[in-house]
Amino acid sequence: MNFDMKEAAGLFLQRLWHEHPGKCAGGLTGVLLGICILVFGFWNVLFVMLLGMAGLFVGMNVDREGDTWQNIKDCIPRDIHRLR
């Protein structure tokens, strides 16, 4: 009987994932982020997330066609030093 319950739960989660992947991924991400904030602290988690976003930015530019450094330079505004 215990095996049937595990199989039913697995099928439910599988169906839920196929019908609502965005909601499942968002909910799971929110729960994991909340646990990380409780365990490690807000500022440490924020620092790791910022580094992750910087790595994602560089990785996306590496995947594009052409010269990697030129792609990164094209994303940065030319007159960035003139911004106030």
Cα angle 36, 9, 33; round to 5? 10
Q: Model confidence over 34-54: pLDDT tens digits?
A: 999 999 999 999 999 999 998
CA 51 to chain centre: 12
Is the pLDDT at 61 greater than 80, yes or no? no
How large is the average pLDDT for residues 54-64?
Answer: 81
For 84, the 3-state DSSP assignment is coil
Domains of the chain by residue range: 1-40, 42-84
pLDDT given at position 82: 60
